[in-house]
């Protein structure tokens, strides 16, 4: 059940991220795609701070649901499901850090 929770968590996370980018773009009147393709250091720092805060809120919300279900009912399967959803930001943060390192390495290789 926890694997299913991780899969559902990743799908939910990607949907929330897409909606958040669309809302930000429409409120600011900018296209977010060029910012994500070639960000500067200030934008990267801002995105990682936002990612950290969002991950923390996600973990608190779904971790609370996980703890509530695990401690109050006998539905252990659902507790594992929400536990899987709770750890989703760990995968997202790991993938983001790996992508940032790869992006910076490619920039350094492109410079003479």
- Give the per-residue pLDDT at 112: 67
C-alpha distance from residue 104 to each of 20, 56, 84 (Å)? 25, 26, 31
Residue-number span of the structural domain to which 94 is assigned: 2-110
The answer to whether 87 touches 45, Cβ cutoff 8 Å, is no
List the structure tokens of 66.
């996980």
**N residues, the chain:** 112
What pLDDT shows up at residue 61?
92
Please give the chain's pLDDT, 112 residues, in tens: 778 889 999 999 889 888 888 888 888 888 887 877 777 888 888 888 888 899 899 999 999 988 888 888 777 788 888 889 999 998 888 888 898 888 888 888 877 6
Rounded to two decimals, the pTM is 0.77
Tokens representing 32?
């977010």
User: How many distinct structural domains can be found in the chain?
Assistant: 1
């Amino acid at each position: 059940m926890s694997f299913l929770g991780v899969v559902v968590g990743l799908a939910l996370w990607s949907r929330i991220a897409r909606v958040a980018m669309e809302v930000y773009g429409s409120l600011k009147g900018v296209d977010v795609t060029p910012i994500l393709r070639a960000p500067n250091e200030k934008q990267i720092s801002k995105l990682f701070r936002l990612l950290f805060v969002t991950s923390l809120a996600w973990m608190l919300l779904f971790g609370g649901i996980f703890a509530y279900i695990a401690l109050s009912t006998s539905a252990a399967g659902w507790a594992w499901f929400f536990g899987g959803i709770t750890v989703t930001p760990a995968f997202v943060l790991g993938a983001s850090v790996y992508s940032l390192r790869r992006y910076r390495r490619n920039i350094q290789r492109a410079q003479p």
